[in-house]
Amino acid sequence: MVSTQTPTAAWGQNGPLDVALDVDSASKVFTSGRPFLKRLVGRAGPGKRVVAVDKMAFSVGKREIFGILGPNGTGKSTLIRLISTLLTPDSGSVRVFGHDVVAEEAVVKRLINRVSVEPSFFKKLSPMENLMYGARLYSVEPALARGRIIEILTRLGVDSRSIWSPMEDMSRGMQQKVAIARAFLSSPVLLLLDEPTTGLDPHSRREVQAFVREIRDAHDATVILCTHDMNEADQLCDRIAIVDHGRIVALDTPAALKALVRSDERPTPTLEDVFLELTGRSIEEDIEDKK
């Protein structure tokens, strides 16, 4: 197991990798309260303090597929928002290819793209119209964008008729594919995937996973994958950080993590076994507790 309370260097088969992402003791705390009371009486009461990200520290190498594994509510999505400049860390720092996400926000935004578990679209418009709009935002030439959109959506299993039909007529899984296509369209050097295959059928999930590998191999992209799908993390990721209550409790390759809990009684452990050993509960139990 690798402690992550100090920055952990990214390594490849031939030694240290160029650092694509460096998270150095980053923390984010939320306080729930009653803002309307503050307006009425001048104070909002104590509220509840929730530490979503607790002094996380790690680094990710260029072209690495790096997994952040844990159930919903353990800080994965908050971490992704910190990296994507949607939130500001309360302490510590986050750097993308050497650029600070706070001081150099505009530069970082040009280097990244993000797929969330709940993507937003203009539902009355078609995937083509939505993606052409996205292409404009990322300054992709219209002629190039149109062909690229058809190529990506076809590669993800979206049929030609659906490309021109309103988004509101598509299933949630198909809409998620369009969200993934939107992220790939800008050819980001750092791609942030927050539960990208949630809601997809097994065949569609495999298509997306294959495309993630392709964008890494063909476009030299670095991928951060947040998931609670143990098999997905095992199959896709070069290294995995296991997150529990806002902290990274283990970080290593899938094989090395599973070796931590291998025994005569458990000769072929899974990542689920690793999570259970480190946290004292299964990931399914954790998900149910948060419903």
Query: What digits encode the pLDDT tens for the residues 211-267?
Result: 888 888 888 899 999 988 888 899 999 999 999 889 999 999 999 999 998 988 888
Least Cα distance to 246 among 2, 72, 87, 119 occurs for 72
Dig out the tokens for 286 from the structure: 């954790």
Q: What are the backbone dihedrals phi and psi of residue 140, each rounded to the nearest 5 degrees, phi first? A: -85, 130
Decide if 38 is inside a domain. no
Q: What is the DSSP letter of 2?
A: -
Decide if 112 is inside a domain. yes
Query: What digits encode the pLDDT tens for the residues 188-197?
Result: 899 999 888 8
**CATH (domain of 154):** 3.40.50.300
Q: For the chain, what is the domain count?
A: 1
Domain of 259 in residue numbering reads as 11-32+48-289
Query: What span, in angstroms and rounded, lies between the C-alpha atoms of 44 and 167?
Result: 42
Q: Which residue has the tokens 């800008």?
A: 186
Decide if 41 is inside a domain. no
Decide if 57 is inside a domain. yes
Decide if 2 is inside a domain. no
The pLDDT of residue 134 is above 60: yes
Decide if 252 is inside a domain. yes
Decide if 155 is inside a domain. yes
Decide if 100 is inside a domain. yes
